Amino acid sequence: MNNSFTEALLAKIMGNRYVPKSQVERQLSPIIDIFLESAIQKLADENIIWSGKYRLLAAEFPFHNQHPLGEGNRSREALSVNIDFLAMDISSKTIILIELKTDCKSMKGEQLSLYDAILRSDCPDKGKRLSEFLDILKDKNPKYVQHVNSINEIENDCHCKLSDLNDIRLLYIAPKKLMIPQSENVKHISFSDLYNHNDISHPFKEDWKIVTEIMQELDDIQDYAESKSSNPSNSTINQSQSRIVPPDATYKPLKELVSKFETGTLNSGYVGFKGGRSTLSFELINKRKHIIHNRLYKWKEIRASNDKQSNWIPIKEFMNILRENGIRNTNDL
């Protein structure tokens, strides 16, 4: 990927977070898929996740949604639900389920229950059951043939078969603010973790650095959640553990902010920018203006008490930083 294209693509996707019904996870998934094997290997090598030798087997790998590892998954009644990515650790002969989440609203209680059942299962041949269910789906839908062929090719290359594996672990790639219970077999890595360990071995590693840099914004996601019940036990993930954005926060493109400031219709309030003044200046000085220009900005009249104050720049100071770096009016955008 060309770097400027990569920046434009990621800026567009991140902006889509605020578009109704836009599914950012689906938009990011094929991009992450390109780099994921190298990324998780880097995390393993630096002891962020389980050490080992990793191979990525498939994206959107199917499980039976009622009998993921039980006898029922051999039934011809193939009711499937997908894990985002399936990998394996060759050295420990372990299946790795990888789930991508970009916000707290995508965490479903029934999905967590399914994964919990898979991890707790005492089935002695887990990998074999997964392979058998994939074969059932392949017979019913030719689209799954590609999954089978791809997995067979990887198995032959690394001399390790999915059907021979028994242990299972679960890896979440999710915002830092999302509280996910961790254990020996469950790990949670944030988008900042991906960025901090992004010097991977990959032909497009410079693009991955750009991708992870921009995806860090997902760690600072603030969802305005309207709960139908005040009882936190109704949800597997307690929404109060995630940051909430007050309803007075809006999202504006840079050109609109500059234009309104020029005309005097916007002369107070705060602009949200992760890392605050120093990070904004750094991005502009280091010619990452394409990212600055194309992203959306959180703006509000008054900072909330639970806001991280350093991430909210007074609008006048925000504009001064832009001017110091050559953005004086909308013509410079």
Whether 156 and 82 map to the same domain: the answer is yes
Whether 264 and 310 map to the same domain: the answer is yes
Confidence of residue 332 (pLDDT cuts 50, 70, 90): confident
Model confidence pLDDT, tens digit, residues 150-195: 999 999 999 999 999 989 999 999 988 777 778 899 999 999 999 9
Give Cα separations from 312 to 228, 301, 317 (angstroms).
30, 11, 10
Whether 216 and 254 map to the same domain: the answer is no
Cβ contact 77:133 at 8 Å: no
Q: Does residue 108 lie within any of the structural domains?
A: yes
Model confidence pLDDT, tens digit, residues 57-109: 999 988 876 666 766 566 555 566 789 999 999 999 999 999 999 876 666 66
Q: Does residue 236 lie within any of the structural domains?
A: no
User: What is the end-to-end Cα distance of the chain in Å, rounded?
Assistant: 24
Whether 187 and 47 map to the same domain: the answer is yes
Distance between CA atoms of residues 134 and 139, nearest Å: 9
pTM: 0.66
Which has the minimum average pLDDT: 46-60, 65-79, 141-155, 298-312? Answer: 65-79
Q: What is the residue range of 292's domain? A: 245-332
Whether 124 and 271 map to the same domain: the answer is no
Is the pLDDT at 233 greater than 50? The verdict is: no
Domain end (from 177, 203, 220): 220
Q: Does residue 213 lie within any of the structural domains?
A: yes
Whether 31 and 162 map to the same domain: the answer is yes
Sign, CA dihedral 246-303-7-319, equals positive
- Residue 222's pLDDT is 45
Whether 174 and 257 map to the same domain: the answer is no
Max Cα–Cα distance, the chain, nearest Å: 70
Model confidence pLDDT, tens digit, residues 195-226: 999 999 999 999 999 999 889 888 875 443 33
Q: Does residue 125 lie within any of the structural domains?
A: yes
Please classify residue 83 by burial: count the beta carbons closer than 10 Å to its beta carbon, then call 0-12 exposed, 13-18 middle and 19+ buried.
buried
CB atoms within 10 A of CB 120: 10
Is the pLDDT at 229 greater than 50? The verdict is: no
